[in-house]
Chain A
């Protein structure tokens, strides 16, 4: 059995006092794993990632990363420990060039010029289209290239854990598949562990190893991907929606 990289233990978190979005959420992510979090709208999936990354502080429960308690740390402190977060929205700086976007992705290693240069060169090797467009403004990239840059930016620091929030939302099916391949490429190239939140269940299931289904801010079901056939997922979601 693999060691646990991320452990979320009974966390409660809210955007407004008294209205908990996460209501006792717990999960474990093994080193090198690819864990997919699914669930109906409003289940708290994105809030889970924001809470792990420090954008929202839990008021109860604990989060540990590689054995170290990280609940309540600021995002820049969590990032320095080796956690990256790719939010649902396109996470690029439209008025900066592709190269500047990648450089800022390496903020935490900016003191080591040689390492940063090498990492950017490696990203260009993996994603040649970004090398071709290095001097273009990120705002001029297509949707798929923008997603590529969002992920590539997070690869610069070679994180040990990537938190990825609905990376295919709003993308055409062929682009969505490219994004999953992109995540697999990143996972193997670094290598890293992935905690993915996705509504595009049928496609995401093909890439995941473990699945966690959330409802009302806590776990509804969890297990290896083999246990989550389409019929079971449909039944579970129906249960969630019908109560």
Chain B
């Protein structure tokens, strides 16, 4: 028998993990909507965020200041993203548009291998945990892991901040405009390379933030970005490539479906439920739930 408590707890758990998946998907789709390229190394930026979180908590700040480590980790990934855009991607964007996709794919795949190998070389194949001294949180009669609740709250705050920056700032206006016409923003006098730099930095910082937030839950190791990257791409397919509202809604939907499937069908096939949804969407609506129409950045 399904108890109401179990259903509610599963839904809450699904929404919480879904919001965190959405951070990753948002990063992928945000970079795509501005730069029209897929960053195949997103999982490695997630991995860097998790390592930074671990290093800051374990070596510098201590477990009590875990919350301070999170924005620092995200900022570190943002800064690294700026360097990557400037050094590896900017030269590509001087090429004719038809060559960009191919170059961007090769460069970001090479970056993926480089960063993963570097992490293995520097930290070894071991798994680390920044640990968490957060107590279990009771939502009504239901116990929820403190680290997961904290990650959820931070993710919501980050999404709110992201929305406000996009909606109410001049840079947000430039980013939204760039997602609609790269020529148009240049005629307005906007440095489109500068917009790309900010977009790439923010996109990978979202992945880094997800890595930092999920470090105590999914641990820290060189390939820990793989699963969340796959989830991120699943969400992008479900929500529609380039659609930011689509990424958020599809993230929560994926989290819910995985949680409900694991609780009420079989937890061994948790990852299969998401793929089933992806296949269903591809058959019924290949452009995703919010497809091209929703590309408003």
Complex Cα gap A96–B170 (Å): 13
Residue in A85, A94, A103 whose beta carbon sits within 8 Å of that of B187 in the complex: A85
How distant is B59 from chain A, measured CB to nearest CB, in Å? 42
Known A-B contacts A93-B177, A93-B181, A104-B173; the reply to A153 vs B186 at CB < 8 A is no
A44-70 vs B, CB cutoff 8 Å, 1 = contact: the mask equals 000000000101000000000000000
A75: Cβ under 8 A from any B Cβ? yes
Please, which residues of chain A bring their CB within 8 A of the CB of B191?
Answer: 74, 76
Residue in B96, B176, B183, B189 whose beta carbon sits within 8 Å of that of A107 in the complex: B189
Are the C-beta atoms of B180 and A96 separated by less than 8 Å?
yes
Complex Cα gap A86–B187 (Å): 7
Residue in B96, B174, B193 whose beta carbon sits within 8 Å of that of A104 in the complex: B174
A108-143 vs B, CB cutoff 8 Å, 1 = contact: the mask equals 101000000000000000000000000000000000
B84: Cβ under 8 A from any A Cβ? no
Interface size grouping (class) on chain A: 20 to 34
Please, which residues of chain B bring their CB within 8 A of the CB of A103?
Answer: 173
Main secondary structure of the interface of B (DSSP, over half): helix
Are the C-beta atoms of A91 and B177 separated by less than 8 Å?
no
Q: Which residue of B180, B184, B186, B296 has the most chain A CB atoms within 10 A of its CB atom?
A: B184
Complex Cα gap A76–B186 (Å): 6
Are the C-beta atoms of B173 and A108 separated by less than 8 Å?
no
A87: Cβ under 8 A from any B Cβ? yes
Are the C-beta atoms of B188 and A104 separated by less than 8 Å?
yes
Are the C-beta atoms of B183 and A96 separated by less than 8 Å?
no
Residue in B170, B176, B186, B189 whose beta carbon sits within 8 Å of that of A93 in the complex: B176
Complex Cα gap A92–B192 (Å): 16
Are the C-beta atoms of A95 and B176 separated by less than 8 Å?
yes
Complex Cα gap A194–B144 (Å): 66
Please, which residues of chain A bring their CB within 8 A of the CB of B185?
Answer: 104
CB-based nearest A residue for B191: A76
Please, which residues of chain A bring their CB within 8 A of the CB of B192?
Answer: 75-76
Are the C-beta atoms of B176 and A91 separated by less than 8 Å?
no
Residue in A76, A80, A96, A110 whose beta carbon sits within 8 Å of that of B176 in the complex: A96
Closest 3 CB pairs of A and B: A79-B189, A75-B186, A108-B189
Chain B residues engaging chain A, CB cutoff 8 angstroms: 96, 170, 173-174, 176-177, 180-181, 183-193, 295-296
Q: Can you list 8 A-B contacts with CB-CB less than 8 angstroms, sorted by A residue number?
A: A15-B96, A55-B183, A79-B186, A91-B181, A100-B173, A104-B177, A108-B188, A108-B189
